[in-house]
Every structure is written in C-alpha cells, then in structure tokens.
C-alpha cells in the first residue's frame, strides 16, 4: 500500500467509526498533506523527532496560532494511532507530543475617563431606570462585582457607616468588600428614587427592584441592555462595553494603582489566584514603564 492509501483508509475509518463531518475530513487531509510536504520521509517512517521539528516549523516558520497547532497535532495523533492499531508502524511517534497551551485572551477594560463618562451620562437623566443603572455601574466598578452578584444585592447589603458591601458570591461563598465613599454617596441618593419606585407596592427586599421580572429584581439581560444604551450616550462603542468589562476595569485600575494581586483576588472573589493572574500583564506594563523611567542605566 502507498502512503496515500493509508491516508484514505484513515479518513474512511474516521467517517465510519467516529462520524466526523465532511469539513473535518477535509481539515484532516490538509493537515496530513502539510506534513507530507514538510518531510522527505514517508509518513509511516516519521519518528518523534520529525514530529517535534514539524511542530516547531509550524510555530516559528508558519506562525500558526497555538489553537491551530493543537488541532494539527490532534490530527497526527489520530492518524498515527490508526497506523499503530493496524500494525503498520511499531511505535506511535506522537505518543509523547504535548499540545501547546492556548493563549488566554487579555481582559478588556475601559479607561478611567470612559468609566466616569458613562456614570455621569446616566446620572444626568433623573428617572428611576437611569438612576438605577448609574448606581449599578458605580458599584460594579467600585467593588468588582459579578453581574449576578450585582443584580441580586439585598436592600441591606451595604454597611454605610463602615463603607463595606456584603456579597453572596459564586458557590455560596460570602465576602465583604470595601466601597468607595463616592459609591456610598451615590447609593444613598439613589435610595430616594428607589423609595418612590416601590411606593404603593409590596416592600422589596432587593436594592435594585424591578416590577416586570419574576425575581423581583432587575435581570442580568436588562442590566446588559441598559449598559449598551449608556455607552451610546457617552460616545463609547457598545461593543466595548459589557458587565464583565466593568469588572475587568475595576481589577485593572486597582493594579495600575499598585494594589497587590492577593488583595484583588479577595475582592473579586476568585477561589484561585491563578484566575486573577490574567491581570498581570497590566503589572508588567506598569513595571516596564517604571524601569524605563527610573532605572539609572535607562538615563544614560
């Protein structure tokens, strides 16, 4: 049998036994043909060193993204497992080839100016809905709340004297986070609008009540929609804005202000600090600027 016969048999097996799609078969074929073009050997003669060299070539010569390289390695793994199971080869050259780690996308965040602009635009409109969204934005930005934590805040979640907020977080974990004085003041002003809104109705236990939702409090989707509207009013592209972007902005601006990572972890409610480490690129950029600005050698 020729090398091409082995590829055809492998692809037939993937369709018959695993039910892969036509597009997946085409992708497998392209990946195997690419290895064919790269190596001077027959595919069944390729060894582990050849596979590693091919992966390095994909990374450094072809500049493929980690996800694309991982997919090609998966194809080769399946192909050589097939050849090994059919006793065409005596050992699998991909057995110890590891998949590259996919790069984590950097968190998106707004500038301090953009955050202030959005809050100010909402505050200008003195109806309950806009006052509610203004305070919600300020609390999310001041405390790094998750959107589910924000919409489910109880009426008595804030200790106004101690400037602290009690959060019932993910996995039923509770935490207390300090609240900026400006955010506390904003909430106190908002409470007058809230009192008018619920007057004549059953007393609401929620800090951000809603008359239309079954839960009795504003929903995540309603908050998301209002956030997009405020972005437009502030002259910011709605595609840049989401509840999670506000949370990212909180963490990013804290680290830019030289807060330590462990404190940010606690305020965000991350169980593992590795989750918080997605923000370390901010620290790296800040440190680089400080080195360039302050190190004696940089001034020579």
87 as an active site residue: the answer is: no
- Burial bucket for residue 54 (CB in 10 Å: 0-12, 13-18, 19+): buried
Assess contact for 167 and 177: CB atoms under 8 A. Answer: yes
Q: Which position among 72, 117, 132, 247 bears the catalytic label?
A: 247
Cα–Cα distance, 246 to 232 (Å, whole number): 16
220 as an active site residue: the answer is: no
244 as an active site residue: the answer is: yes
Assess contact for 154 and 174: CB atoms under 8 A. Answer: no
Q: Which position among 6, 28, 190, 279 bears the catalytic label?
A: 279
| DSSP code, position 272 | S
Return the axis-axis angle of helices 22-38 and 3-18, rounded to nearest 10°: 150
Q: Which residues contact 66 (CB under 8 A, 6 or more apart)?
A: 100, 101, 102, 103
247 as an active site residue: the answer is: yes
Tokens of 155: 């009426």
Q: Which position among 146, 217, 248, 253 bears the catalytic label?
A: 146
| Residue 136: strand, helix, or coil | helix
279 as an active site residue: the answer is: yes
Half-sphere exposure of 181 (CA within 13 A, CB side): 0
DSSP of 43-90: GGG--HHHHHHHHHHHHHTS---HHHHHHHHHHHHHHHHHHHHTTSSS
Tokens of 28: 């497998």
How remote is the C-alpha of 94 from its chain's centroid? 31
103: left (phi over 0), alpha (psi -120 to 50) or beta: beta
Q: Which position among 52, 129, 229, 244 bears the catalytic label?
A: 244
Q: Which position among 117, 132, 194, 270 bears the catalytic label?
A: 270
Q: Which position among 170, 225, 240, 290 bears the catalytic label?
A: 170
So which residues are the catalytic ones?
146, 170, 244, 247, 270, 279
């Amino acid at each position: 049998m020729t090398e091409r016969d082995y590829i055809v048999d492998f692809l037939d097996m993937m369709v018959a036994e695993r039910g892969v799609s036509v597009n997946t078969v085409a992708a497998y074929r392209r990946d195997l043909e690419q290895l064919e073009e790269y190596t001077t050997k027959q595919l069944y003669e390729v060894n582990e060193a050849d596979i590693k060299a091919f992966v390095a070539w994909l990374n450094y010569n072809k500049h493929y993204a980690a996800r694309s390289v991982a997919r090609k390695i998966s194809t080769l793994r399946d192909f050589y497992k097939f050849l090994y199971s059919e006793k065409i080869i005596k050992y699998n050259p991909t057995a110890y080839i590891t998949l590259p780690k996919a790069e984590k996308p950097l968190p998106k965040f707004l500038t301090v100016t953009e955050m202030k602009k959005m809050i100010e635009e909402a505050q200008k409109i003195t109806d309950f809905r806009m006052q509610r969204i203004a305070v919600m934005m300020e609390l999310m930005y001041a405390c790094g709340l998750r959107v589910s934590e924000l919409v489910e805040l109880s009426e008595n979640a804030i200790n106004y004297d101690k400037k602290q907020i009690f959060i019932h977080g993910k996995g039923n974990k509770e935490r207390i986070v300090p609240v900026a004085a400006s955010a506390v003041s904003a909430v106190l002003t908002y409470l007058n609008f809230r009192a008018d809104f619920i007057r004549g109705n059953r007393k609401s236990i929620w800090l951000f009540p809603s008359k239309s939702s079954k839960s009795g409090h504003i929903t995540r989707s309603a908050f998301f929609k209002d956030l997009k509207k405020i972005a437009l009013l502030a002259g910011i592209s709605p595609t840049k804005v989401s509840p999670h972007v506000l949370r990212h902005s909180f963490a990013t601006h804290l680290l830019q202000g030289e807060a330590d990572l462990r404190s940010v972890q606690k305020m965000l409610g991350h169980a593992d600090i590795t989750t918080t480490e997605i923000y370390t690129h901010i620290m790296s950029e800040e440190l680089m600027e400080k080195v360039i600005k302050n190190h004696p050698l940089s001034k020579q």
